[in-house]
Amino acid sequence: MNIITIFITTLITENVILTKFLGICSFLGTSNKEKNALGMGISVTFVVLISTILTYLINKFILIPTNSAYLQTITFILVIACFVQITELIIKKYFKDLYKSLGIYLPLITTNCAVFGIILTNIRSNYNLIESISNALGSCLGFVLVLYIFTLLREKIENNDILKSFKGIPIALITAGIMALIFGRLV
């Protein structure tokens, strides 16, 4: 497949959140403030991009030649966890406010299934390095885009009159559902 096709498909029609339903936890958790959403999006993008390159190299030059593809899952999780730690250290040092407001969701990027999902898709679809990077970039930008739109919508909705039983997460889930309908039809 063409690089640009992969990029646009993963950005819109096969969006990580709205059509593959990955990474819902941080999607709902960090969409309360604009700043949090952008901080989360950028951290996820950083982690995914670097882990994509590293896992590709490790898979091609260490795991496949030594006939140990059964170690793929644990090795990828190791790489992701390591880079989440590094991101956390950098944010803790240089962006203290963001570190406080992201709270538990920052170390939880480790278990964000979107990150692992993107990396696993790269390996399973036999993408080469450039295709993998374009897939990772498209998926992450899709993640940031949807997260950002969703945050703006949530901020607007929360100022309105809503039924008491729909306040908070229920109305957010309905909004996410409508967004998924729209994104699925954007072909």
Partner 1 sequence: MIGVISFTLIAFIFAILIVLLNGYLFSDDEKLSKLEEMLPGYNCGSCGFGSCKGMAKAILKDKEAVYKCRPLRDKEEILKYLGE
Q: Which residues bind partner 1 (CB under 8 A)?
A: 58, 62-63, 66-68, 70-71, 74-75, 78-79, 82, 85-86, 89-90, 93
Q: In this structure, what token pair is assigned to residue 183?
A: 């994104």
Instruction: Report helix, strand or coil for 16.
Output: coil
Q: Minimum Å distance from CB 120 to partner 1?
A: 17
Task: Find the shortest distance in angstroms from Cβ 96 to partner 1.
Answer: 11
Q: Toward partner 1, which CB reaches closer, 83 or 150?
A: 83
Query: Dihedrals φ, ψ of 30, to 5°?
Result: -105, 10
- Write down the H helix ranges in 59-168: 72-94, 96-102, 113-124, 129-158
Please enumerate in sequence order all residues whose Cβ is within 8 A of that of 66, keeping only pairs 6 or more positions apart, or say none: none
At its nearest, how many Å lie between partner 1 and the CB of residue 50?
A: 12
Residue nearer to partner 1 on the CB measure, 1 or 86? 86
Angstrom distances, CA of residue 105 to CA of 20, 65, 75, 88, 161: 20, 37, 22, 11, 29
Nearer to partner 1, 82 or 149 (CB): 82
Q: Which is nearer to partner 1, 85 or 175 (CB)?
A: 85
- Least distance from partner 1 to the Cβ atom of residue 59, Å: 11
Rounded Cα distance, 143 and 23, in Å = 9
Kindly state the smallest distance separating residue 62's Cβ from partner 1, in Å.
5
Give the C-alpha separation, 83 to 91, whole Å: 12
CB closer to partner 1, 28 vs 81: 81
